[in-house]
Structure 1
């Protein structure tokens, strides 16, 4: 069992069970493994603009062998062209259609067969929007359905860009971005949220968005204010 500090170790057992079941302590995510997996999956999908995907990946799978379980890129594109949604035995991919891409993926997570040996990757190019998706006061938020991820023992929410420049609205502030991540973290565990991208002058990398489990210290990479790139793909930043 993973005890974050002495106080947590002294908590009643029932409280510890709840925290751990919510993903509050996820020290098992190997950043190097996750970085290689996300890099390959997003390159393979080759989708421009906002999209979201969920994929089940065997926990012991080497990134070098990921290609053996990835679906055909053209099949994915054909389905997205027809109805903005692709579903297979291992992958769900959605683009923006009648609903946000993240919502379409989360609503269909039950279509992925559960295997206790699998890791669930939930990826969205833009981070969940602060004013709707992660807003507890908006009835269109994803704070309820994102709990569907917890059907898996090991999982991660990964985004590439903080959604800070919504079209037709004032820019999102770092305070809003921080609060949005905290709301998501309250549902799936702070330790399960990552930003994976290519920082300027560096290589593609994944960063944990929270440096602690109480949500106080948010990594600056995860609340970076970015310029609008609504049609950009993963390689643009």
Structure 2
């Protein structure tokens, strides 16, 4: 993410109970994302959260009962919150050096979450990953290798969800849509095309949708904030 943002919530999520994420119940996904935003959200600032979610919908409340809102939201800038079912972080701005992006910081600690049978790893981010660092294959601080090593090699069920397309730099310069699409495609290559979703509000309805269809074609809502309404 760019330095202005401090919101990447790692939320890995299965679109349906079972091994096929693309078949996961969309209503359950929507409920999970809404609860994460309501309890742990930080408005339009960047943060990242990884959450372990039960496949059994009736047990979802246990996740949010275990990690209290105040504990998750009030950690210091340089600290990564590690709880029972939640890992959370903001970007860490290092003066005169570089910015540790929230997604990367969360992924560094995600292995500390209990990898229990019947649970899904959810990686939620306020912004879609940036192409300048997070999804740049040649950048030493990208998140692609972390996803392969710390998510795909460990978890059976996982997904990445975001709620705002990252389409402007910290200086408000518009990022070409093609660059945004390329950044998302690099993430898809790392985590799987069927494991990325975008959630947004359209005319009072909160919607979550898969970013890629079976032909690996990207949904316009996943690369353009034009589709996001307040």
TM-score tier (shorter): 0.7 to 0.9
CA RMSD in angstroms, aligned pairs only: 2.1
Query: Quick one: which of 18, 35, 39 aligns to 1:40?
Result: 35
Q: Which residue of 2 aligns with 1:188?
A: 191
Per-residue deviation at 1:169?
A: 6.5
Query: Quick one: which of 171, 175, 178 aligns to 1:175?
Result: 178
SS across alignment from 2:21: coil
Preserved contact between residue 51 and residue 125 of structure 1 (Cα < 8 Å): yes
Q: Which residue of 1 aligns with 2:62?
A: 68
Indicate yes or no: 2:143 matched with 1:149. Answer: no
Query: CA 1:211 to 1:82, structure 2 compared with 1: closer, same or farther past 3 Å?
Result: closer
Per-residue deviation at 1:163?
A: 0.5
Preserved contact between residue 22 and residue 195 of structure 2 (Cα < 8 Å): no
Q: Which residue of 1 aligns with 2:207?
A: 205
Preserved contact between residue 157 and residue 192 of structure 1 (Cα < 8 Å): yes
CA–CA distance in structure 2, aligned partners of residues 185 and 82 of structure 1:
29
Per-residue deviation at 1:191?
A: 0.3
In structure 1, stretches of 5+ residues that fail to align are: 1-23, 227-234
CA–CA distance in structure 1, aligned partners of residues 225 and 205 of structure 2:
20
Indicate yes or no: 2:22 matched with 1:27. Answer: yes
1:6-43 per-residue CA deviation (whole Å, 9 max, x = no partner) reads xxxxxxxxxxxxxxxxxx96333221110111111111
Q: Which residue of 1 aligns with 2:5?
A: none
What number of residue pairs does the alignment pair up? 200
Preserved contact between residue 40 and residue 72 of structure 2 (Cα < 8 Å): yes
CA–CA distance in structure 1, aligned partners of residues 138 and 180 of structure 2:
15
Flag the structure with larger Rg. Answer: 1
Query: CA 1:89 to 1:120, structure 2 compared with 1: closer, same or farther past 3 Å?
Result: same
Query: CA 1:236 to 1:72, structure 2 compared with 1: closer, same or farther past 3 Å?
Result: farther
CA–CA distance in structure 2, aligned partners of residues 101 and 236 of structure 1:
25
CA–CA distance in structure 2, aligned partners of residues 236 and 43 of structure 1:
18
SS across alignment from 1:175: helix
In structure 2, stretches of 5+ residues that fail to align are: 1-18, 94-99
Which TM-score applies when normalising by structure 2? 0.80
